[in-house]
Amino acid sequence: MEETNKNVLGDCFTSAMALTESGVPHVPTRYILPPSQRPVLSPSIGTGSINLPVIDLSFLHDPLLRPSVIHEIEMACKEFGFFQVTNHGISSSVVKDALDAATRFFDLPADEKMLLVSDDVHTPVRYGTSINHSTDSVHYWRDFIKHYSHPLSKWIDLWPSNPPCYKEKVGKYSEATHVLHKQLMEAISESLGLEKSYLQEEIEEGSQVMAVNCYPACPEPEIALGMPPHSDFSSLTILLQSSQGLQIKDKNNNWVCVPYIEGALIVQLGDQVEVMSNGVYKSVVHRVTVNKDVNRLSFASLHSLPMNKKISPAPQLVNEEKPAAYGDFSFNDFLEYISRNDLTKQRFIDTVKKNKF
């Protein structure tokens, strides 16, 4: 049955990479966005009018300077739900190797990648295009491979065997981002007035999904997107990008281009932190633009509590003046939701808000 399903998928599957390589002069109709959803690609949008936070994490390890870094993180979380980090402890060689492995994977022949294709969101390792090419009403100019990554020993044998370097190089990056995520969650908990060890055990035993994305050069980037506006289900997403393309929505509902900073990583708050903070912090709505000239790669490392562990507002952040504004939810609840609903129509976080504010 599974083999039959893959054959059916193969019959209707055309990757964004294949379209780029074929030299199509226009994007196929299924990729064309309604005019109101099309991006504005002027380089001056956002980058000249707003300073997005960049935080040096090396000071987190200095007891005298840690409080000022925690304050920076608090301000960034309140204002944007987003920040970039430098001196994050992941070496440039580990980052470069991960990007190299991803490049080699997406350069594989189509039939090799098709061995991993699936439209089942529960599959632990799956290759695909758009968001879910079987159900998307509008398609997005993106190919991806997603795989569970923590604990690494449980999942790595299911990862691609080709290219031969993939498991080692992406494995090292996955382990490094898991360590970084723990440090960031300690700092974010502190910034909320919680113990830095809040949810420590759940975070250590939590889920990590690595979404490795390829956004090929697109002939008409002004009428298409790599990813639609959305927020992530995770506690945090740690994003590595090879070039600029990410945009975030600010408090005034304007799209802001996130600059590419050599050596930096992007931290995005997800729905789990919004719920944990009882709405003090908000998950960041973001989208991905594409361009005519280069293939853009990104690694989105999505960290969450264990699959069936429910997240709810921290009791310390709930009182008579500020009652719990959210119900609880798990990663599995999110997967069930996206298997039945179109994420471009309603954000998952809106379904767990008690008062639809």
- For position 299, which CATH number holds? 2.60.120.330
Domain for residue 3, yes or no?
no
pLDDT digits (tens, 9 = 90+) for 201-214: 888 889 999 999 99
Burial class (CB in 10 A: 0-12, 13-18, 19+), 34: exposed
Bridge partners, residue 127, by sequence = 117, 145
**Is 312 inside a domain boundary?**
no
Q: In which residue are the tokens 């996955």 written?
A: 174
Does some domain include residue 342?
A: no
Question: Is residue 315, in this structure, part of any structural domain at all?
Answer: no
24: CB partners within 8 A, 6+ apart: 219
What's residue 1's pLDDT? 38
pTM here is: 0.92
Q: How many helices (H) and strands (E) are present in the chain, helices listed first?
A: 10, 12
Question: Would you state the pLDDT for residue 43?
Answer: 53
Q: Is residue 348 domain-resident?
A: no
Q: Which residues pair with 213 in a beta bridge?
A: 144, 298
pLDDT at 217: 97
Check residue 338 and give its pLDDT: 77
Q: Which domain holds residue 172?
A: 16-305
Domain count, the chain: 1
Give the number of other CB atoms < 10 A from CB of residue 229: 17
Tell whether 4 is covered by a domain. no
- Is residue 323 domain-resident? no
User: Which residues of the chain register pLDDT less than 70?
Assistant: 1-12, 42-50, 132, 134, 356-357
Supply the pLDDT for residue 4. 40
